[in-house]
Amino acid sequence: MELTLLDKLSGTLANAATVALGTGLGLVLRGKLPERMARIMVQGVGLTTLFIGLSMAQALGKAKGGAVDGVVLGLVALVLGGLLGEWARLEEGLEGLGERIKRAVRGGGSFTEGFVAASLLFCVGPMTLLGAIQNGLVGDPSLLLLKATLDGLSAIALTSSFGVGVGFSVLVILLYQGGVALLAGTLSQALPDPAQDPRVLLVTGVGGLMILGIGINLLGLTRVRVASFLPALLLAPLVWALADWLG
């Protein structure tokens, strides 16, 4: 039975809906909760984000390429990606995009920070890639529905702190996650077993380190320029392929 467009995008649409709903609830709560309560909500999301990042980063231990350990491959991809991102000024580019959207909708507060943090948090992770592939291939949205629940709860906490900018991450979810779901047929030919493919594991591990950076930012421990590391997600499979070829 051939899948319809709605079958392939059902999980992504549900994910976008929960983030929009979470943003709406966060806006209702914003300004009505004492600052200490809003802060504790964000800290709760930050701690959970650290846990998710650590869990994802463990995939590096399974992504050996040739004779090179996955942790080393992840480090190489992260450093090279970070250098490329700094050269391309990705952090400033995303902030500029956030500022333009902020002016267009007359957003206030920490609009850009909310947009960037939410976009990365909701779109960098194994559930995004694997869930979108699963949804696009067989019409099963179960992974994305679980992700949608987590993202919706996170959106409430983030919006109560950063404002409406969090809600505009829905655009990134629809474009990226929906795009992967629609291209799942092509991806499946290159990734017959996505859950165990070393390239996916390496991307998952590198993404986990980036998620850790988001958690650190949410907790206010320091400022990690997470957006600058985005090229690492594209470089990771190339680094693995090179190590595998040399091995």
Express each pLDDT in 24-79 by its tens digit. Answer: 999 898 878 787 887 887 788 788 878 888 988 898 988 888 888 999 999 999 99
Radius of gyration, CA atoms only, the chain: 18
Express each pLDDT in 144-154 by its tens digit. Answer: 988 898 899 88
Domain boundaries, the chain: 5-246
Amino acid in position 18: T
Q: Which residues contact 83 (CB under 8 A, 6 or more apart)?
A: none
Tokens of 93: 């580019």
Q: Which residues contact 200 (CB under 8 A, 6 or more apart)?
A: 126, 129, 130, 191, 194
Q: C-alpha distances in angstroms, 177 versus 45, 48, 62, 128, 184?
A: 22, 22, 25, 6, 11
Q: C-alpha distances in angstroms, 156 versus 22, 59, 105, 131, 161?
A: 5, 29, 20, 22, 9
Partners of 65 in the β-ladder: 68
Tokens of 223: 């400022």
Q: C-alpha distances in angstroms, 234 versus 82, 141, 182, 206?
A: 12, 25, 19, 10
pTM of the complete model? 0.75
